[in-house]
């Protein structure tokens, strides 16, 4: 079925492999890992792991400077004609040290104006950067939103760092929730195509996902991508060590079906890394991890 129903939207998704299922057969994306730090903690992520451990959530082999990122994109673009999108998706949050991400986008925009630029964020800092993103013509933003209810959020995100201090528990989850909703509303009002990624965690937010879907669609989210938690004790994540498991394919199916009156669900996500390069699912370096590169940060 036609994925876009507003004038001009088709033009903006037709060569984006994540926003259009059809496009992912023909177009490639590349992530540049320019965002090392993060302003929240997710129980499906362990940033303490040595970065040589490739299974660590969000781990990448190289942390790039903005200039290094542009050089890498230049090299990849020269040998990969299908490359249509360059995204910042970690390994931390793209807007925590926003100057690095914005500088990267600025350099890319100047040198390769035909590329679509894409950002993934947990949303905490998003309201502060809408104008800067618009000024750089960043038309695709993904926000990871796992809950609406702060009581549920506190089971997923133990702390956030906001306004120069660390907040914990339900208070932290309330701040993150409010910032996510504000960022989503303001980004969609600014004309950005916002995709929401949600990590499905059985026993925590599975019964809550339909509510999340309704709330984000009501605030203008273009797509909703419900992704399975990948929880392996080897990742050393809190959920992995707690014995929390990801959903079975059947459980994931049931939740997605419960949302299926909403035509715009993304189902072809490959939970890629923060340094993934290539067609979705065909990256040389793809390694699954707990949250999923753009899904987790
Ligand atoms: Fe990257 Fe994310 Fe942009 Fe795509 S990934 S920043 S929207 S260009 Fe895509 Fe990868 Fe799934 Fe993300 S398959 S994890 S949804
Ligand atoms: Fe930060 Fe992403 Fe890890 Fe969550 S999964 S703590 S948003 S880097």
Q: How big is the CA angle at 60 (ends 58 and 64), to the nearest 5 degrees?
A: 115
Burial level of 11, CB count in 10 A (0-12/13-18/19+)? Answer: exposed
CA distance 279 to 202: 30
Q: Distance of CA 256 to CAs 35, 124, 221, 278, Å?
A: 31, 26, 16, 27
> Can you give the pLDDT of all 297 residues of the chain as single tens digits?
444 566 788 888 888 899 988 888 888 999 999 998 999 999 998 665 433 333 334 454 557 899 999 999 999 999 999 999 999 998 899 999 999 999 999 999 999 999 999 999 999 999 999 999 999 999 999 999 999 999 999 999 999 999 999 999 999 999 999 999 999 999 999 999 999 999 999 999 999 999 999 999 999 999 999 999 987 777 778 888 888 889 999 999 999 999 966 668 988 988 888 888 888 877 644 333 334 455 553
Rounded CA gap, 32 and 38, in Å? Answer: 16
| Ligand closest in space to the Cα of 280 | 1
What pLDDT does 142 receive? 96
Pick the residue whose CA is nearest to atom 3 on ligand 2. Answer: 45
Name the closest ligand to CA 92. 2
Q: Which atom of ligand 2 is nearest to the CA of 91?
A: 8
**Nearest residue by C-alpha to atom 4 in ligand 2:** 42
């Amino acid at each position: 079925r036609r994925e876009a129903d507003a004038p001009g939207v088709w033009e903006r998704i037709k060569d984006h492999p994540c926003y259009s299922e059809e496009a992912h057969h023909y177009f490639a994306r590349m992530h540049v890992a320019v965002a090392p730090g993060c302003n929240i903690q997710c129980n499906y992520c362990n940033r303490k792991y040595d970065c040589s451990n490739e299974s660590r959530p969000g781990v990448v082999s190289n942390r790039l400077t903005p200039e290094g990122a542009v050089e890498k994109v230049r090299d990849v673009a020269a040998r990969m004609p299908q490359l249509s999108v360059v995204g910042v998706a970690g390994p931390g949050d793209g807007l925590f040290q926003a100057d690095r991400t914005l500088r990267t986008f600025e350099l890319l925009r100047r040198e390769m104006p035909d590329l679509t630029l894409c950002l993934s964020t947990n949303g905490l800092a998003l309201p502060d950067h809408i104008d800067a993103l618009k000024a750089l013509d960043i038309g695709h933003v993904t926000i990871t939103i796992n809950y609406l209810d702060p009581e549920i959020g506190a089971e997923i995100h133990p702390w956030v760092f906001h306004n120069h201090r660390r907040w914990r528990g339900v208070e932290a989850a309330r701040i993150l929730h409010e910032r996510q909703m504000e960022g989503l509303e303001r980004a969609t009002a600014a004309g950005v195509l916002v995709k929401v990624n949600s990590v499905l965690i059985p026993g925590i937010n599975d019964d809550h996902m339909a509510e999340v879907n309704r709330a984000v669609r009501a605030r203008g989210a273009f797509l909703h991508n419900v992704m399975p938690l990948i929880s392996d004790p080897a990742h050393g994540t809190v959920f992995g060590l707690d014995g929390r498991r990801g959903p079975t394919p059947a459980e994931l199916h049931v939740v997605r079906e419960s949302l299926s009156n909403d035509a715009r669900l993304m189902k072809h996500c490959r939970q890629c890394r923060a340094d993934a390069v290539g067609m979705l699912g065909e990256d040389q370096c793809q390694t699954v991890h707990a949250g999923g590169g753009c899904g987790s940060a």
